[in-house]
Amino acid sequence: MRSSNRRQTVRVGNLGCGVELSLEGFVADKQPRIVLVGGGSGGHITPLVAVAESLRRYEPQCHLVYVGQKGDALATVITQGNIVDSSRLVSAGKFRRYHGLGWRNLLKVKTMLLNVRDVFRVVIGFGQSVVLLARLKPKLVFIKGGFVGVPVGLAAALLRIPYVTHDSDALPGLANRIVARWARLHTVALPAEIYSYPSDKTVTVGVPVAAAYRPLDSQRRQAARRAVNLSESALILLVSGGGLGAKRLNDAIVQQAQRLCSTFDDLHIVHQAGRANQQAVQAGYDAAGLHERVTVLGFSDDFVQYASAADVVVARAGGSSLAEFAVLGQAVVLVPNPYLTGGHQLHNAQALRDRSAVRVVQESELGQATLYDTLSELLANKQLRDQLGSGLALLAVPDASDRLARILLDAAGAGVNKGGASDAA
């Protein structure tokens, strides 16, 4: 319940600026108010949905506000429905740099102009975030990743609002590294010792996944197929480039599809191509005469059903999607994107291959027989699929969202009755 309006003075001095703001606002609610921040890719947004669901279970009165980036098409994943109480969008930008391509790409005129433009977007977003957080007065900010975390995180630091970060990948993203200095805590997917964060501020929790992701058995696989109108007797290959798609992976699969369908008469391909690529990918399959053998998706709200229905998955190596496939215990072939900053997908893929949990095809091999050979071997051998899926399932943390929710509520001063943050360490 909000109390009556009164003028409040918020001192802003922890970064040495000595500024004092005076603004109209409400006294903080008795309900814990937590701001959830993330965007730019499904891997920075879908985990927020899982965390929000867990926060609701532990603290039904928790007031959740999502802050995302203006123009982010994937923001609707969390803003639709009753996942959060409200949402706000602020300006943000990114620093374009390309792993393994050298400095020459950074010096291209187009790249330089876009980077300069986005510096101004970050500055604008920082001002917007200061005003927004000063009005909201949250108990805590949770930054999942993506460049929207930079203006919001810096604003939280300026206003002395505690915040917690989360990294799904073996290599933290640049946005989280920028705001790391002032974070209350860093929650991470993998063993804490592999990260460069201070050990006393780093906690391993895994990667939050939606409650709908559950370990597969034959009954759940068949139920998933019925839910999305796929044949219960077909051999299903799921291709996932993420919600934004992956053009090079898309093209390689389309090129190999006719040969795969000729080898396996019962094969059906479900291809999540990304919204921007959906029509082009569908046209490629149609030109190959495979219209009846494929289902092409943009970004599907039923992705958990398609992921559960598959026999084999071929995907990029983002940490969030890997966590989902691990909970399912799927047989996965990874094609890591070698050009993402720091090569974090290469790190993820190597870490899982070292544990015999996935097969890996490098992007440089997409034009060779390696992709076809790897997929056909798995499609033809159920025992091998089961073995690979079991290896990946060993790395799953199905309760990661609950662990993280307990940590966040504890950091917000609204501890829970089910063990608190100590259980999550």
Residue-level pLDDT at 75: 85
Q: What are the backbone dihedrals phi and psi of residue 420, each rounded to the nearest 5 degrees, phi first?
A: 70, -175
DSSP 31-59: S-EEEEE--SSHHHHHHHHHHHHHHHHH-
E-strand ranges in 91-156 read: 140-143
Residue-level pLDDT at 368: 86
Choose among 272, 365, 285: nearest CA to 321: 272
Q: What are the backbone dihedrals phi and psi of residue 100, each rounded to the nearest 5 degrees, phi first?
A: 80, 0
CA gyration radius, the chain: 22
**Residue 238, CB half-sphere, CA atoms under 13 Å: how many?**
23
pTM of the complete model: 0.79
* Cα–Cα distances in angstroms (integers) from residue 247 to residues 63, 83, 111, 252, 321, in the given order: 39, 31, 20, 9, 17
* Cα–Cα distances in angstroms (integers) from residue 29 to residues 1, 33, 91, in the given order: 6, 7, 27
Query: Strands 6-12, 19-25: parallel, antiparallel or unpaired by DSSP?
Result: antiparallel
Residue-level pLDDT at 417: 46
In terms of C-beta distances under 8 Å and separation of at least 24 residues, what long-range contacts does 22-28 make, across chains too?
23/134, 23/135, 25/134, 25/135, 25/137, 26/2, 26/137, 27/2, 27/3, 28/137, 28/139
Residue-level pLDDT at 62: 94
Please identify every stretch of the chain with a pLDDT value under 50, giving residue numbers as ranges. 1-29, 99, 101, 417-425
* Cα–Cα distances in angstroms (integers) from residue 309 to residues 35, 51, 253, 263, in the given order: 34, 24, 19, 21
Classify residue 108 as exposed, middle or buried by CB count within 10 Å of its CB (0-12, 13-18, 19+): exposed
- pLDDT tens profile 35-88: 999 988 778 899 999 999 999 999 999 999 999 999 887 888 898 888 999 999
End-to-end CA distance of the chain: 33
Identify the CATH homologous superfamily for domain 6-208+399-424.
Glycogen Phosphorylase B; (3.40.50.2000)
Residue 399, SS3? coil
The domain locations on the chain are 6-208+399-424, 218-393
How large is the angle between the packed helices 319-328 and 344-353, nearest 10 degrees?
30
> Residue 302 in contact with residue 282, Cβ under 8 Å?
no
Residue-level pLDDT at 43: 83
Residue-level pLDDT at 194: 87
Handedness of CA 45, 49, 55, 60 (dihedral sign): positive
d(CA 48, CA 167): 12
Residue-level pLDDT at 418: 42
DSSP 56-92: HHH-TT-EEEEEEETT-GGGHHHHSTTSSSEEEEE--
Q: What are the backbone dihedrals phi and psi of residue 44, each rounded to the nearest 5 degrees, phi first?
A: -100, -5
Q: Edge-to-edge, what's the strand order for the sheet holding 332-334?
A: 294-297, 267-272, 235-240, 312-315, 332-334, 359-360
> Residue 180 in contact with residue 202, Cβ under 8 Å?
no
CATH fold match for the domains 6-208+399-424 and 218-393 = yes
Q: In which element (H, E) is residue 120 found?
A: helix 109-136
Rounded-to-10 torsion of CA 132, 133, 134, 136: 90
- Tokens matching residue 177: 């590294």
420: how many CB neighbours lie within 10 A of its CB?
13
Tell me which CATH code domain 218-393 carries.
3.40.50.2000
Give the contacts of 286 (CB within 8 A, at least 6 positions apart): none
